[in-house]
Amino acid sequence: MVYKHGGIEYVAPNVIRKSTMDNLLMFTENDDQILNYYTIISKETLSENEYDKLKKEYPALENEELYKLNNLNSDEKEKLDSYITDPFVMLYFINSDETGSIIKEQLLSNVPENQKVILNEMNLIDIIKSLPEDQKNMIVQEIEKNLNETLGSMASQAAIQATKSEYTAIGVNTDSIQNKYILKTGFQMIGIAIISMGAAVVIMLLSSKVAAQLGKQLREQVFERVLKFTRKEFTEFSTASLITRSTNDIQQIQMLLAMLFRTVVYAPIMGVGGLIRVLNNSDASMAWVIGFAILCIISIMLVLFIIAMPKFKKLQSLVDKLNLVAREILTGLPVIRAFNTEKREEKRFDEANTDLTKTNIFVNRAMSIMAPMLMFVMNGVMLLIIWVGGHKVDEGIIQVGDMMAFIQYTMQIVISFLVISITSIMIPRAVVSAKRINEVLETEPSIKDIENPKEFLEDKKGYVEFKDVSFRYPDADTEILEDITFTAMPGKTTAIIGSTGSGKSTVVNLIPRFYDVTNGELLIDGVNIKEVPQKELRKRIGFVPQKGILFSGTIESNIKYGDVSISDEQMEKAAKIAQAMEFIENKDKKFQSEIAQRWKQCIRRTKTTFVNSKSLSN
């Protein structure tokens, strides 16, 4: 076992005097095993150069023979320590003036006065040598028993002190040994710190990259899924909710993943490492304190999660609601101003905002309680260790240094759990966000292409045929269209006239298959639109919505939105038909001008004109 006290790593000294070795072997039965690890050196056995070199390092070599330790590996040194520790400690205390005099006094207590006078003049070790073998063994056993009861776990430290005392007697510079050990350990610590810093930087970079890539892929998957949604799915997920799920919810998962990679790698290693150190290099009788601390931390986390989890679910719904209200107000701002309902809308927004704020405050308060409670547990555990350890120190079971080491290891374990618990604050909200994203990804569009689609009939090109078509909206109880039958032929204009709510727009929305008919058939170019790919169907249709929508970009990009391959001449023709050329020509960048709010109506007319012309050509 490596002790590393005062720079001395092993009890077995690298060099020991022959006289000390002879005395030490009196207290052990492993004489041969110990001597096999050493080589005796003296002035007679060394060359002149070797002697001069070793004399400077071991001045006692000038006066007596020394035993020098052979080149051993760590396992062999630990094995030698197991042989030499107890006898070396006994020899150290026998040679000590304080303890030696006590042992000597006890030994001579029953000796006659005439012999006691003679024996008092002798060293304790010489007295023990002079005794008969049986009596000597009995005294050695008694001394060993007393030392074990007195020292307890401090025996290893006493053995190191004995080694240091032997080095001093030989003339070895123990300060140099300690300084070398400090420098060696310092450089190791610096190296570990540099490696840790580099690892932390790499982990941060990798975790940020992985989290960002996952966020990117989730946004792409959600966006691709939403593009396939029909109007039925849009009634299940509001536009505001889909925006929140595509941004805020994915951001919550991304943030959690970035933090998890940092803590999942760091915290468990620190915790397991600290636990191993406690069990192997410290007093394990206080290990229950660590278990108690971990139990307290887990209990606090579970209670807070049980309280906060329902609020996290509500929180994301309230974000949806706030986005919905804000979107409606911003979209309908001209109408709001026209009817002077600003105060009403402010109140509606304030209600949504207040609900979200209250829930956020509750969640933040609940989670903010966690940090001080966990710190209380950590400091309470430290006090508990000091209280329990103090009694053990007083009883001589452990040393103050062992107790301080146990505190450090325990704090290392507890802090690793604190890091995990603080990171886990983000888990409940991320779990809710993950479920909301998963709802979108698992929602299958109600309108799908069939596996073996048909082709359009060229001899029926341009025909739009309704055959006994009936239609009901997904959330409606009654049919809005019943048994509609008509044919719109190419080259002719077909007008559908009716009052508001009679289903005119619904008829048009059925043609590009925004909805599927409930009963009957709808044929384009002689083929049922359910039997052809949606993409191919919509390529053959020019569609002008009731409400024009502009996309961010230039005038050109908006006019060419229906077909980016059209020529500039066709684009200009569409602009002239819409009577938009005048204001376009007045712009410095002409068709490359960026779209602004005041251009909306003019560009809408241009865009509608082009799409309409496309419809007529098809």
Q: Determine contact, residues 430/486, Cβ cutoff 8 Å.
A: no
307 burial via Cβ count (<10 Å: 0-12, 13-18, 19+) = middle
Q: Check residue 4 and give its pLDDT.
A: 53
Q: Please give the pLDDT value at position 187.
A: 92
Give dist(CA 48, CA 150) in Å, integer.
Answer: 47
Q: Burial, 485: exposed, middle or buried (Cβ in 10 Å; 0-12, 13-18, 19+)?
A: exposed
- Please choose, from the candidates 33, 18, 31, the residue with its C-alpha nearest in 3D space to the C-alpha of residue 166: 18
- Mean pLDDT per 10-residue run, the chain (618 residues)? 62 88 85 89 86 87 88 87 84 74 69 66 72 74 70 68 85 83 88 87 86 90 85 77 84 85 74 73 67 81 77 78 83 82 88 88 79 82 84 72 78 78 74 85 83 84 89 82 88 85 84 87 89 86 74 83 83 84 84 65 46 42
Helix (H) or strand (E) run with residue 110 in it: none
Amino acid at the residue 409: Y
The three-state DSSP-derived secondary structure of 265-303 is: HHHHHHHHHHHHHHHHHCCHHHHHHHHHHHHHHHHHHHH
Domains in the chain: ranges and CATH: 15-172 (no CATH), 195-442 (1.20.1560.10), 458-538 (3.40.50.300), 555-617 (no CATH)
Contacts of 20 (CB under 8 A, 6+ apart): 91, 166, 169
User: What single letter denotes the amino acid at residue 79?
Assistant: K
Residues 6+ apart with CB under 8 A from 86: 27, 28, 144, 155
pTM of the model: 0.61
